[in-house]
Structure 1
Amino acid sequence: MPTANSLTILVVDDQQSMRGLARQCLSRLGVQSVALAATGQSALEMMAERKFDLVISDLNMPGLSGVDLARKIKSHPVFSRIPVFLATSDAYRDEAEDETVDHFVAKPFSVADMRDAIETHLGQLT
């Protein structure tokens, strides 16, 4: 069973305000190690240097979209088991349907929804 403070989560969003909101939401859950990336490419570079338990990415980003990033993660031999959540509004969810995405989280972020999603994929947080 993971503890919230033992998780290392990577948040990828081209909007600084959304990265901050995600970090705040995860902090309320007790997650102490949250890394932030502004692009999909920088996220991949960070993943090559550090181990993450979960990636939460925005769907619509310049360059690598959230779906493109999820596909790269899931096709990589080392990263393929890392759960990938896409953050999006319901209006864009249909266009983001992809077998590489483990879960969708709604924007704006909700602490309760984030807890449920994390527990579904990583186990009960203690």
Structure 2
Amino acid sequence: MPLARSLMVLVVDDQQSMRGLARQCLSRLGVQGVALAATGQAALDMMAERKFDLVISDLNMPGLSGVDLARKIKSHPVFARIPVFLATSDAYREEADDDTVDHFVAKPFSVADMRSAIEEHLGVLS
């Protein structure tokens, strides 16, 4: 679990309650470095100032959607290798299918699903 503690995860969601749930889920996995952003633009601004290992974004947000944010991250030379997870319900997943998204996580967040996704893409929780 020590590697999980060193992860820096950026959670992007326009709903404060969902940002809190994501932080709580990550905390249960031993991740202590969690930053929160309410908009896609705020997330990009934060990424310009800090290094993140993972971005978890809501799909449906005003302004930049989660897919738009993922595209901006993947097209940026410094950020392109950062995994981007989109958080959504299954009802919206098809509209978000895009090869810029590394993984989909279901809302509400599940500790087991989040663990599996992080292990698959970052290999740090196993």
TM-score with structure 1 setting the length:
0.98
**Gapped regions of structure 2 (runs ≥ 5):** none
Tell me the distance in 1 between the aligned counterparts of 2:79 and 2:33.
18
For residues 63-74 of structure 1, the aligned pairs below 5 Å read 63-74=63-74
Deviation at 1:9, TM superposition (A): 0.1
**CA–CA separation in structure 2 for the residues paired with 1:80 and 1:57:** 15
Aligned to 1:90: 90
| Distance in 1, Cα, partners of 2:2 & 2:91 | 32
Instruction: State the Cα deviation string for residues 42-99 of structure 1 (Å, max 9, x = none).
Output: 0000000000000000000000000000000000000000000000000000000001
CA distance in 1, matches of 2:105, 2:2: 20
Q: 1 CA distance for matches of 2:17 and 2:3?
A: 26
Aligned to 1:44: 44
Q: Name 1:4's counterpart in structure 2.
A: 4
Report if aligned partners of 2:28, 2:111 keep a CA contact under 8 Å in 1: yes
In 1, Cα distance between equivalents of 2:2 and 2:39: 28
Structure 1 moving runs of 4+ over 6 Å: none
Q: What is the 5 A alignment of 1:1-126?
A: 3-125=3-125
Task: Percent identity, please.
Answer: 88
Q: Deviation of residue 2 (structure 1)?
A: 7.2
CA shift for structure 1 position 124: 3.8
Aligned mates of 1:115, 1:68 — CA distance in 2: 25
> Is 2:4–2:124's contact at 8 Å kept on the other side of the alignment?
no
Distance 1:125 1:17 in 2: 25
CA RMSD of aligned residues (A): 1.2
TM-score if structure 2 supplies the norm length? 0.98
